[in-house]
């Protein structure tokens, strides 16, 4: 989906295999994580759930985490989608959405992940996901604001997430009701709507 211009252009599959239009999260801050059930980083599920709960206390309608299971790293997510859902619920009480299992690298990579990697390459410009539990932060404007490696613990992302939550959601421009005499002043308006990248 090379024509995609933002996070909201995608419709990945949810745990039931049904399309989830990401447009439903427009104006929210989203943390996207590729996950696995049999990885040394799997306990980060607990950290992610703790982070999710903590931020939802102060921003109940403005933040979401999306987990994308992937079996491309040493076969550490071998189970079915039902197995994965059950594992996350029973072992970590995960309450944020865990999506359908996908690939994140190679020709079979989910289009969302192709876009995420293009939008925010990793260290030294490398695009490929290196391991389970890499993290992408999507701002209110639908663009990637940060990318963190597996070693970064979820609680370290609290400040960047809060910083993005404190950004005002982009508002649609109001219809102009100015006269031609006001044109010079209204011509400056677009500059104030620029988003921080």
CA count, 13 A, side-chain hemisphere, 174: 5
Query: Measured at the alpha carbon of residue 134, what is the angle toward residues 28 and 162, in degrees to the nearest 5?
Result: 35
Give the residue carrying structure tokens 């079996």. 71
Residue 4: predicted pLDDT: 81
Higher local confidence (pLDDT), 136 or 171: 136
- Does 185 score more than 50 pLDDT? no
List the single range of 24-28, 72-76, 103-107, 187-191 with lowest mean pLDDT: 187-191
Residue 124: predicted pLDDT: 78
CA pair distance 175, 16, nearest whole angstrom: 41
Which residues are CB-contacts of 3 (< 8 A; sequence separation ≥ 6)?
9
- Does 5 score more than 80 pLDDT? yes
| Catalytic residue ranges | 39
Domains of the chain plus CATH, in order, are 28-169 (3.40.30.10)
pTM of the model as a whole: 0.85
3-state secondary structure of 142: coil
- Does 78 score more than 60 pLDDT? yes
pLDDT in tens, 145-161: 999 999 999 999 999 99
List the single range of 22-26, 54-58, 148-152, 168-172 with lowest mean pLDDT: 168-172
């Amino acid at each position: 989906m090379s024509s995609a211009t933002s996070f909201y252009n995608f419709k990945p599959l949810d745990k039931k295999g049904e399309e989830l239009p990401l447009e439903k999260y427009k104006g929210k801050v989203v943390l996207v994580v590729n996950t696995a059930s049999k990885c040394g980083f799997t306990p980060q599920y607990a950290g992610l759930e703790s982070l999710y709960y903590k931020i939802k206390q102060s921003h109940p309608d403005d933040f979401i985490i999306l987990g994308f299971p992937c079996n491309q790293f040493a076969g550490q997510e071998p189970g079915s989608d039902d197995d994965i859902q059950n594992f996350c619920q029973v072992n970590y009480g995960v309450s944020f959405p865990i999506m359908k299992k996908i690939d994140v690298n190679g020709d079979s990579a989910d289009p969302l992940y192709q876009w995420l990697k293009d939008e925010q390459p990793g260290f030294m410009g490398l695009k490929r996901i290196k391991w389970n539990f890499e993290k992408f932060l999507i701002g209110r404007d639908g663009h990637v604001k940060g990318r963190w490696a597996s070693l970064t613990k979820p609680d370290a992302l609290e400040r960047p997430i809060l910083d993005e939550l404190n950004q005002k959601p982009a508002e649609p421009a109001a219809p102009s009701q100015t006269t031609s005499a006001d044109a010079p002043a209204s011509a400056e308006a677009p500059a104030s709507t620029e988003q921080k990248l």
